[in-house]
Amino acid sequence: MSRRVKEMLKENNELQEQLSDDGKKVLTDIVVYLRGAPVSMYEQERVRRDITQMLIDGEKRGSSAREVIGEDYKVFCDSVLEEIPRLTAGQKVMMTIRDMCGAMAVLSLLWGGLYLALSAGYGDLNSVEPSYTTVTSGRLLQLVIIAAAGTWFARIYYPNPYKSRAKLWLQYTVPAIIVVFISSRVAVILKKPLFTIHAVLLVPIAVILLIIYKIIDSRVA
């Protein structure tokens, strides 16, 4: 996240404190919806600032948030976003790479932590198993599939965070089960060894992935 986005985010957080509880609730719905819009974080915060100020001015006149923006906040947001420049194809690709780096960093830490915990149970950090693990083509592809799926789930969740439980089950749980099943089968079928790595090395790998995440995030935001 770039410095200008951080500054605007801080300003917007302070600005929204001037709203009533009802105004804050409506603004929260709007912000969640904006997070799924195909525009940069900076543009999202600009829109958020303008809408927050509109709501504040409306409350000073005695108008509720719904009287200011209408009953359907999504329609209002869409009308505002029509005037905002969309992310380019290059920016979308960079954001996808950024999100996958973040997801893979977390998975690497979890993977390394699991092996180190098991090694501690054996009482020898350098035991051949389980502190050393052989990374196969299937395991590596499994990691990429899960990271990509997590990114995709996040992208489709933001625009519709308040669906019914039945719709949430169909849209998220069922696909998640399918992704886990397919990625697990890939890991089992593709057994070609690529390299052997000590679990401790997964920590610096995760750090490198996080650094890449931060660099890309500061440039595309």
Give phi and psi for 188, each to the nearest 5.
-80, -40
What pLDDT, on a 0 to 100 scale, did the predictor assign at position 159? 54
Question: 141 versus 199: which is more confidently predicted?
Answer: 141
DSSP 190: -
DSSP 85: P
pLDDT one-digit tens code per residue, 155-201: 665 555 545 555 656 667 778 888 889 989 998 899 898 888 877 78
For residue 154, which of 6, 2, 29, 32 has the smallest C-alpha distance? 32
User: How far apart are the two ends of the chain, measured CA to CA in Å?
Assistant: 6
What pLDDT, on a 0 to 100 scale, did the predictor assign at position 128? 45
Q: How far apart are CA 29 and CA 159, in angstroms?
A: 10
Q: How far apart are CA 142 and CA 102, in angstroms?
A: 16
Under 8 Å between Cβ of 203 and 109:
yes
DSSP 87: P
| Average pLDDT estimate for 126-136 | 65
What pLDDT, on a 0 to 100 scale, did the predictor assign at position 129? 53
Under 8 Å between Cβ of 191 and 136:
yes
Q: How far apart are CA 112 and CA 218, in angstroms?
A: 27
Amino acid at 159: P
Under 8 Å between Cβ of 75 and 39:
no
DSSP 187: H
DSSP 169: I
Write down the pTM of the prediction.
0.62
Report residue 208 as tokens: 């490198």
pLDDT one-digit tens code per residue, 70-128: 888 888 888 888 888 888 888 888 888 888 888 888 888 887 777 777 666 655 555 54
pLDDT one-digit tens code per residue, 22-47: 899 889 888 888 887 888 888 889 99
DSSP 3: H
What pLDDT, on a 0 to 100 scale, did the predictor assign at position 199? 76
Which stretches within the chain are classed as H helix?
3-15, 21-35, 41-60, 65-69, 73-81, 89-122, 137-157, 165-168, 174-189, 202-220
Kindly provide the b/e burial profile for residues 38-61, where b requires at least 16 CB atoms within 10 angstroms of the residue's own CB. ebbbbbbbbbbbebbebbbebbee
